[in-house]
Amino acid sequence: MRSSGANRFPHRFLDRADAGRTLAELLRHHAGDPRVLVLALPRGGVPVGYEIAKALGAPLDVFVVRKLGVPGHEELALGALASGNILVLNDDVVQALRITREVIDAVAAQEARELERRERAYRGDRPRIDPAGRVIIIVDDGLATGATMRAAVRALRDRGADRLIVAVPTASPQTCADFQTEVDEIVCAITPEPFDAVGLWYEDFSQTTDAEVQELLELAGRPAQE
């Protein structure tokens, strides 16, 4: 496992694009590797991932993850559903609350509809890029608890990714440290203490829109000569 970047840039980022350019510098050892695929968690991870993909000469795609909340206690995750209909369960919660398969299937079906809606909105008719056998750089705009990223990692392992690299501009020090045992490489540009919230480490943390996600994915998919 490789870890890099923490606290090299002890400042706030101007915006997500600025953060992406900073991360790209920390990931430059992956430039030119044809196996590399940048997967961004929408929506906030996409502007970050776009800058990384552009700098490394790698393709960019989105990887949508939806939390599966316990009915009546939706803030508690019984698992997560990821792009490609990958279901990851939180076995401790499922067993402790004796959640039945019927309940899991019902919650998953509801979230699957929303996941598919988002994927269509973001990707349009472009097919998913298969992560099997590839070096995957999974990007978000920051890590607080890391629950969504953890679900993405587990799902991508299930889909046969060869190497998994988590890259974020800012993270809780503890969360960044926890990922050292979960992925092949973790890159957190800054790990401020106290951390408090992802948005505190950006001058501009305005919401990324669906239209912006679509535009960046289209730009990333165009040949360089365009």
How far is C-alpha 182 from the geometric centre of its chain's CA atoms? 14
Mean pLDDT of 115-120: 87
Asked whether residue 105 falls in the same domain as residue 59, the answer is no
Asked whether residue 190 falls in the same domain as residue 133, the answer is yes
E strands along the chain, which residues? 2-4, 36-40, 60-62, 65-70, 73-82, 86-89, 135-139, 163-170, 185-190
pLDDT score of 83 more than 90: no
pLDDT score of 183 more than 80: yes
Which of 97, 123, 149 is the last residue in one of the domains? Answer: 123
Asked whether residue 209 falls in the same domain as residue 141, the answer is yes
Q: Which of 169, 136, 130, 128 is nearest to 30 (CA)?
A: 136
* Distance in angstroms (rounded) separating the CA atoms of residues 73 and 70: 5
What the block records as the tokens of 127 is 């097919």
Q: Provide the pLDDT for residue 224.
A: 47
Q: Is residue 133 part of a domain?
A: yes
Asked whether residue 133 falls in the same domain as residue 156, the answer is yes
Asked whether residue 157 falls in the same domain as residue 212, the answer is yes
pLDDT score of 9 more than 90: no
* Distance in angstroms (rounded) separating the CA atoms of residues 205 and 110: 30
Q: Is residue 204 part of a domain?
A: yes
pLDDT confidence band for 223 (50 / 70 / 90) = low
Domain residue limits at 99: 65-123
Mean pLDDT of the chain: 90
pLDDT score of 26 more than 60: yes
Cβ-proximal residues to 224 (8 Å cutoff; 6+ apart), any chain: none
Query: How many other C-beta atoms can be found within 10 angstroms of the C-beta atom of residue 85?
Result: 11
SS3 201: helix
Asked whether residue 20 falls in the same domain as residue 111, the answer is no
Q: Is residue 226 part of a domain?
A: no
pLDDT digits (tens, 9 = 90+) for 136-157: 999 999 998 888 898 899 889 9
Cβ-proximal residues to 39 (8 Å cutoff; 6+ apart), any chain: 49, 60, 61, 62, 63, 131, 136, 137, 138, 139, 152, 156
Task: Say what the pTM is.
Answer: 0.86
Q: Provide the pLDDT for residue 1.
A: 57
pLDDT score of 199 more than 50: yes
Q: Provide the pLDDT for residue 4.
A: 59
Q: What is the DSSP letter of 225?
A: T
Say how many domains are in the chain.
2
